[in-house]
């Protein structure tokens, strides 16, 4: 089975190009002002213009309002919206109707119940993205380099497409794929030299590790 990779939090042409060259199926742009990876719609549009059509362009939002998500999606030619806040199934469905795009719902995971509860998004989201639950009081809901217990997803019977994120890097992604049998892995801080600064070498190593898994 092919495992697709998403390289998220891109903000520079050189590292975006490295992700595409290395075979990423998706590139991700973060639209959240508190994030060190935050980009404007204009920056994302410039980056998106470098990407061939077969590579998905995912915009990461945290509880966005209608105007933010609609205007940014159009400006950056997004193909999918990743919702990384407290969006309810109804809000996810409304954003899907508003944009007409694929909508990915990030699900914070600490326990098996977190995974079971995500079934509520069937019929609303197109994909569930399981990520580690951030500690209380964290500034960001994602992009923290934290992983959860992947064994919670072993044998998971999904009601919709799904993927794994949170604390992945070139050294551990093979194990994550082996344990979960996921078809999608998503990384941000694991391919950085420091928060918000992507590394071409780490992106290449990550994508090589995924292709060998
Ligand atoms: O990356 C961010 O700054 C970010 C901000 C707000 C919401 C989500 C964010 N990142 C997403 O978090 C996961 C896991 O990231 P990591 O690999 O553990 O650093 C990933 O989907 C990022 O897109």
**Residue nearest to ligand 1 atom 22, measured at CA:** 143
Domain extent listing, the chain: 4-212
Of 15, 59, 143, the one to substitute when testing ligand 1's pocket (max ligand atoms within 8 A of C-beta) is: 143
| Nearest CA among 132, 71, 82, 122 for reference residue 105 | 82
Provide the pLDDT for residue 159.
Answer: 87
- The DSSP letter of residue 55 is S
43 CA from centroid of ligand 1 (Å):
18
For 101-106, which contacts have Cβ atoms below 8 Å and span 24 or more sequence positions?
A: 101/73, 102/126, 102/127, 103/127, 104/58, 104/80, 104/128, 104/129, 104/163, 105/129, 106/82, 106/130, 106/131, 106/141, 106/142, 106/165
Ligand 1 neighbourhood includes 64 CB (under 6 angstroms): no
The two three-digit tokens of residue 108, written as one number: 């914070």
% the chain with pLDDT above 90: 96
> Residue 120: pLDDT band by 50, 70, 90 thresholds?
very high
Supply the residue whose CA is at minimum distance from atom 2 of ligand 1.
143
Q: Is the pLDDT of residue 1 over 80?
A: no
Residue 213 pLDDT:
87
Task: Output the CA 87–ligand 1 centroid distance in Å.
Answer: 16
Per-residue model confidence (pLDDT) at position 102: 97
CATH number of 4-212: 2.60.120.200, 3.40.50.10710, 3.60.15.10, 3.20.20.70?
A: 3.20.20.70
Encode pLDDT of 2-49 as tens digits: 899 999 999 999 999 999 999 999 999 999 999 999 999 999 999 999
The finding on whether 108 has its CB within 6 A of some atom of ligand 1 is no
pLDDT at 171: 97
Tokens of residue 28, six digits: 């991700």
Q: Where are the beta strands (DSSP E) in 21-150?
A: 26-31, 56-61, 80-83, 102-109, 127-132
Kindly state the DSSP code that residue 14 receives in the 8-state scheme.
H
**Does the model's ipTM exceed the 0.95 cut?**
yes
Confidence of residue 187 (pLDDT cuts 50, 70, 90): very high
- Token pair for residue 186? 């998503």
Is pTM beyond 0.90? Reply is yes
First to last CA, the chain: 10
Which atom in ligand 1 lies closest to the alpha carbon of residue 58?
23
């Amino acid at each position: 089975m092919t495992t697709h990779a998403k390289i998220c939090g891109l903000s520079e042409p050189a590292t975006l190009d490295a992700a595409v060259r290395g075979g990423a199926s998706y590139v991700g742009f973060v639209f959240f002002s508190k994030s060190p990876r935050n980009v404007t719609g204009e920056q994302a549009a410039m980056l998106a213009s470098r990407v061939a059509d077969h590579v998905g362009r995912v915009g990461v939002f945290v509880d966005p309002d209608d105007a933010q998500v609609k205007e940014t999606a159009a400006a950056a030619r997004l193909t999918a919206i990743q919702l990384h806040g407290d969006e309810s199934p109804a809000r996810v469905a409304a954003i899907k109707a508003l944009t007409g795009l694929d909508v990915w719902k990030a699900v914070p995971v600490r326990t098996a119940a977190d995974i079971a509860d995500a079934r509520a998004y069937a019929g609303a989201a197109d994909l569930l993205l399981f990520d580690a639950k951030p500690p209380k009081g964290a500034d960001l809901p994602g992009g923290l380099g934290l992983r959860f217990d992947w064994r919670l997803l072993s044998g998971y019977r999904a009601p919709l497409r799904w993927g794994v994120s949170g604390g992945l890097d070139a050294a551990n992604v093979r194990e994550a794929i082996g344990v979960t049998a996921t078809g999608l892995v998503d990384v941000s801080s694991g391919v950085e030299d420091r928060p918000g600064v992507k590394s071409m070498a780490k992106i290449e190593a990550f994508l090589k590790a995924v292709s060998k898994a």
